Structure 1
Amino acid sequence: MSSTPVLSRALILLMATATGLAVASNYYAQPLLHSIAEHFGLSTASAGCIVIAAQLSYGAGLFLLAPLGDLFEQRRLIVSMISIATIGLLISAFSPSLPWLLLGTTLTGLFSVVAQVLVPMAAGLSEPSERGRVVGTLMGGLLLGILLARTAAGFMATLGDWRSIYMLAAALMALSAIALYRALPQRQQHAGLAYPALIGSVFRLFAEEPVLRLRSLLGAISFCLFALFWTPLAFLLKAEPYQYSDGVIGLFGLAGAAGALAANWGGRLADKGKGAQGTTVGLLVQLLSWVPLAFAPTSLAALLAGVLLLDLAVQLVHVSNQNAVIALRPEARNRLNAGYITCYFIGGASGSLLGTQLFQAWGWNGIVIAGLGIGVVGLLVWWLGATKLCRSELSDGRPTLRRLAIDLGVSGGLSKRWSTSPLKPGLPP
């Protein structure tokens, strides 16, 4: 039961849509935090717990559930996970109190990691020469889901109240489960391990694969910056001089949706062997985006420019990371991806927690200072980590080219050039 047909464009689009819907389930609350806080009588920090619960549960699901793609038949697993996430959305829609909302949020977060079963499955079904593009397309769907979730939540709140988006999302998730059951091929890639050993093997992959450690740390830093900005944004836009409604706040997701373009671009760079360059560009733009964001409290143009730059950069780094990780061991794609994405969303949860606390204590200035500092750390981690990888691969004064190309996402002409001249220690990728 392990056929590998070439993915049709329609199936790729369906999988990207399902990926976006699944991940969107964790972000509907963000533009509605002010309204939810008023409804339940919560403080800013308490309302932020909803976002933190979504991201922590997603991280737990990534670690505990996403590796099951290397154990069970993938189509059945995907449909089952979407169905349970739908139940969580319904609990959130009808929650009478904050604990019930947190329960629904946690259940949805745990099982919406189905997105990270879909991505490795798509990578396994695609031709090697097209893999970067396919992964980039699904990750574009993921980013659109994250960003347009805010727009949809704000729009639905203007039509009804904050609960209405959860009802709509549950209906869309149920439809996606039916469509995927009908369209996906049956596919099983059994790792030959019992569940405890399967989970333990994720730790072993971290111990054995330095590129997984480096890319996971970069992903955590990148998504921390993303969440650091987006989590407190609703509170900034509710205050003077903006004083926007939930619907208008949700529209800011459209400004960041252009980041989906970077997903496809990042995938194509990886296919051309330029993943390392994409990572470097993404990290630089990620840092520079905080310059216009510093003027966000007084300038709408600066805010929109910063949103566009930050989301483009975060997505470019993420797709470059994910393509490099998935290429390491094809037989362990789900576990490699689960380890990487777990760290990624732990970074997001940390950013959300940091964002709500900093905004409450020091306002937007605290957010900007933290963003600049974390952006600098990201660049330093990439420089030092890539340099260490190059040095560790030196053998008689030359790198092990094939391994280095996989690790850094570099191949083609660059590898050919290195094959004819020794790589000097400390040379950045």
Structure 2
Amino acid sequence: MQQPVEITDPLQNVTAVQSISPRLRWLMAVGCGASVANIYYCQPLLGAFSRYFHVSEATAGNINIFTQIGYGLGMLFILPLGDKISRRRLILALFLLSALVLGITGLVTRVWMLDVCSVGIGLLSVSCHVLIPYGAHLSSDTERGKTIGALLGGLLVGILVSRTLSGWIGQYLGWRWVYETAALGMLGICLLLWLQLPDEQPAFQGSYIHLLRSVWELWRQHRVVRQSAWIGATLFGAISAFWATMAFFLEAPPYQYPLSWIGVFGLVGAGGAMAAPLVGRITDRKSPLLTIQVGILLVILGYLTLFFASLHIALVVIGVILLDVGLQAAHVSNQARNYAILPHARTRLNTIYMTAFFGGGTLGSVAGNIMWNHFRWTGVCMAGLLMAMLSWLAIASFHKQKNNQLISS
């Protein structure tokens, strides 16, 4: 029988860093935001793509889905390399290649070319999930939640601001400039990271196949990892159903907003990003399970509000805030639970969690597209609410396991 692959500490030879500095922490947060933003620039532009390439809304919606598919593939096949090769070099390579693909995307002339480039953008945008476990490692135990919260806050700001920037640039300069501007931004941040990030000599000496096999072993051996993956997948799927169809909803009656106004809704959810450091500090002091449960309830409440979004724009604003704050509360706490299991395998633990997270996001985007095309906004809200409610199954499983342990003792 095949023996499990030994998991050794990939950072035992890291360049000595006493404690991560605030300057480095925030630079890494900016890097997280910039890299993840690349996969969301397309969302406010879907209507513009439909008009420019003379294709249906369903065909234009596939651009977002292809980006999510690429992101999931990157999570599964590129992200584990963070435990095998220098994370500094991996991050810099991903930033440079992302800039190249973004630049090419701004030049495409056919919708199928945009689909192909979207897969490449998603595939290379996983650098944010190499930065997060690296930042967690560089932090002391008492500040790890704070660092995770800061980097995840940067990630969420990137998601939200990307939609605003995309909407404004797309409205006034055209959609091509969205991608060319993003390419220049990635090059600039890459230079700063090259100057600031410490280097390392990972200790994992196995083959790439053994590396992937060890990811499976982590999944099989740790119930917490499976619970976190389920919660992350279902919650992000619920959120993605909204964001994948938001542009179509706001362009249609009763609102009929232009691109620039649709992009502004990215800023509405910034409350979730602002909550991230607070959630991280709470997680350092209390059980992360508490903030996960609060997060799930907020997402459910957000969708109950969005059912009535056509009545007044204020309901859309309230719903977006509830969705993003809820997601962030659960997301930070899920990450903290995972990183506490095996400090030396954080990148691979992140592979499992984020593959599930964005896999759920892809399914949510697909479900949102299908429900929009057949049942419009009510269908989208039904899909999102169902996925949010499914996330509670992991909480029920945790309580059942805890009760069984009490009975057996």
- Mapped contact 1:210–1:389 kept (Cα < 8 A): no
Give the match for residue 263 of structure 1. Answer: 276
Task: Supply the distance in 1 between the matched residues of 2:184 and 2:334 (Cα, whole angstroms).
Answer: 33
1:241 has 2:243 as partner: no
AA in 1 matched with 2:181: L
Q: What are the Cα deviations for residues 57-82 of structure 1, in whole angstroms up to 9, with x where unaligned?
A: 11110111111110111111110011
Give the match for residue 366 of structure 2. Answer: 353
1:141 has 2:154 as partner: yes
Give the match for residue 427 of structure 1. Answer: none
- Mapped contact 2:239–2:384 kept (Cα < 8 A): no
1:386 has 2:394 as partner: no
- Mapped contact 2:84–2:205 kept (Cα < 8 A): yes
Task: Supply the distance in 1 between the matched residues of 2:391 and 2:183 (Cα, whole angstroms).
Answer: 37
Give the match for residue 156 of structure 1. Answer: 169
Give the match for residue 40 of structure 1. Answer: 53
Task: Supply the distance in 2 between the matched residues of 1:374 and 1:99 (Cα, whole angstroms).
Answer: 30
Q: Of the candidates 314, 319, 325, which is equivalent to residue 327 of structure 2?
A: 314
Give the match for residue 244 of structure 2. Answer: 231
Cα 1:103–1:311, aligned 2, differ >3 Å: closer, same or farther?
A: same
Unaligned runs of 5+ in 1: 398-429
Question: CA offset at residue 372 of structure 1?
Answer: 2.2
1:108 has 2:114 as partner: no
Give the match for residue 402 of structure 1. Answer: none
- Mapped contact 1:326–1:336 kept (Cα < 8 A): yes
Task: Supply the distance in 2 between the matched residues of 1:192 and 1:331 (Cα, whole angstroms).
Answer: 14
Cα 1:309–1:50, aligned 2, differ >3 Å: closer, same or farther?
A: same
Give the match for residue 281 of structure 1. Answer: 294
Question: CA offset at residue 384 of structure 1?
Answer: 2.0
AA in 2 matched with 1:176: I
TM-score, normalised via structure 2 length: 0.94
Give the match for residue 198 of structure 2. Answer: 185
1:290 has 2:303 as partner: yes
1:23 has 2:36 as partner: yes
Unaligned runs of 5+ in 2: 1-12
The count of residues paired between Structure 1 and Structure 2 equals: 396
AA in 1 matched with 2:124: F
Identity %: 37
Question: CA offset at residue 119 of structure 1?
Answer: 0.3
Question: CA offset at residue 106 of structure 1?
Answer: 1.3
Matched position secondary structure for 1:289:
helix
Task: Supply the distance in 1 between the matched residues of 2:312 and 2:116 (Cα, whole angstroms).
Answer: 38
Task: Supply the distance in 2 between the matched residues of 1:65 and 1:393 (Cα, whole angstroms).
Answer: 38
Matched position secondary structure for 1:12:
helix
1:97 has 2:110 as partner: yes
Give the match for residue 326 of structure 1. Answer: 339
AA in 1 matched with 2:203: H
Task: Supply the distance in 1 between the matched residues of 2:113 and 2:104 (Cα, whole angstroms).
Answer: 7
Matched position secondary structure for 1:346:
helix
Question: CA offset at residue 99 of structure 1?
Answer: 1.8
1:72 has 2:88 as partner: no
Q: Of the candidates 5, 8, 27, which is equivalent to residue 14 of structure 1?
A: 27
AA in 2 matched with 1:359: W
Question: CA offset at residue 262 of structure 1?
Answer: 2.5
Question: CA offset at residue 383 of structure 1?
Answer: 2.8
Task: Supply the distance in 2 between the matched residues of 1:94 and 1:390 (Cα, whole angstroms).
Answer: 56
1:49 has 2:62 as partner: yes
AA in 2 matched with 1:104: C
Q: Of the candidates 222, 226, 238, which is equivalent to residue 209 of structure 1?
A: 222
Task: Supply the distance in 2 between the matched residues of 1:295 and 1:312 (Cα, whole angstroms).
Answer: 19
Matched position secondary structure for 1:28:
coil
Q: What are the Cα deviations for residues 85-109 of structure 1, in whole angstroms up to 9, with x where unaligned?
A: 1111112111111122122211121
Task: Supply the distance in 1 between the matched residues of 2:219 and 2:356 (Cα, whole angstroms).
Answer: 11
Task: Supply the distance in 2 between the matched residues of 1:393 and 1:207 (Cα, whole angstroms).
Answer: 20
- Mapped contact 1:90–1:104 kept (Cα < 8 A): no
- Mapped contact 2:364–2:384 kept (Cα < 8 A): no
Greater length-normalized contact order (CA 8 Å, ≥ 6 residues apart):
2
Q: What are the Cα deviations for residues 242-278 of structure 1, in whole angstroms up to 9, with x where unaligned?
A: 1111111000001011110222122112211321110
AA in 1 matched with 2:80: P
Question: CA offset at residue 393 of structure 1?
Answer: 5.0
Give the match for residue 337 of structure 1. Answer: 350
Question: CA offset at residue 396 of structure 1?
Answer: 5.6
AA in 1 matched with 2:66: A
Cα 1:253–1:201, aligned 2, differ >3 Å: closer, same or farther?
A: same
Q: What are the Cα deviations for residues 330-365 of structure 1, in whole angstroms up to 9, with x where unaligned?
A: 111000001100000000000111111100100101
Q: What are the Cα deviations for residues 138-167 of structure 1, in whole angstroms up to 9, with x where unaligned?
A: 000000111110000011012211111101
Q: What are the Cα deviations for residues 306-336 of structure 1, in whole angstroms up to 9, with x where unaligned?
A: 0001100011111111110111101110000
